[in-house]
Amino acid sequence: MSTSDALVLFDVGAGQAQGSRERQEDRYRIVLPEKFPAKTNDNIAFFAIYDGHGSGVVADHASKNLHNLLAQRPELQRGDYAAAMRAALAEEDRLLLDNFMRESVEPAVSGSTVAVCLINLTTGELVVSNLGDSHVILAERDPKTEFPYHIRRLTEAHKPEVPSEQARIKEAGGMVEKRNGITRLGQPKEGEGPRARGGRGPAAFPSEHKSLW
């Protein structure tokens, strides 16, 4: 990191709790500027969490690939981080579907959320993106109050019971149903779903991106 950077990264950390599950289904990825794979003069850091469901297969795949896909995007080189994030997430979704369609004989029951924080330390720009109900939280120092930090949640959960999210899911070819009183993504009928549409899944286009400062 350069002393001329707008932001200074003092420290980072991560932790996981498996709980009562047999296996750890969640993943995280921290890529500091010196390890970020994009060829750029700016110092960029990448942070992401992946909340796996059904198994750790999707979370594991995404945690190993998403930051590399993002670094390869031409939009990133132009500084259009929101467009780069959308494209990288859509590409990861396509790669996952291709893998499942090529290698799986049984229906895939694995999935994952993602919450990403991309920081350009050189310019002082923070971009967040999420799919699902994982979140990015920002803590800001506020010297005018007795509390050391002002806490803000920068992301909004994508839940199928929300009308706008339900409409987005159906528009992308998915379906919504209630199981045990809980609104969930449903199983497409024969002739519907990603296979029938040539591999395009309902999560192919993330809907939440925010850029601060």
10-residue averages of pLDDT along the chain (213 residues): 79 88 91 93 96 91 96 94 95 90 72 94 94 90 78 88 86 84 70 48 46 45
- Give the pLDDT score at 213: 43
d(CA 41, CA 207): 29
Structural domain boundaries in the chain: 26-155, 159-190
Instruction: Report in angstroms the alpha-carbon separations of 193 from 48, 62, 203.
Output: 28, 21, 12
Query: Could you write out the DSSP letters of every residue in the chain?
Result: --TT-SS-----------TT-SS---EEEEE-GGG--S--SS-EEEEEEE-EESSSHHHHHHHHHHHHHHHT-HHHHHT-HHHHHHHHHHHHHHHHHHHHHHH-SS----EE-EEEEEEETTTTEEEEEEESS---EEEEE-TTSSSSEEEEE------TTSHHHHHHHHHTT--EEEETTEEEE-PPPTT-HHHHTTS--TTSS--EEEEE-
Report which of 149, 165, 124 is spatially closest to residue 4, judged by C-alpha positions.
124
Identify the CATH number of the domain defined by range 26-155.
3.60.40.10
- Give Rg (Cα) of the chain: 18
- Give the pLDDT score at 66: 97
- Give the pLDDT score at 68: 97
pTM of the model: 0.80
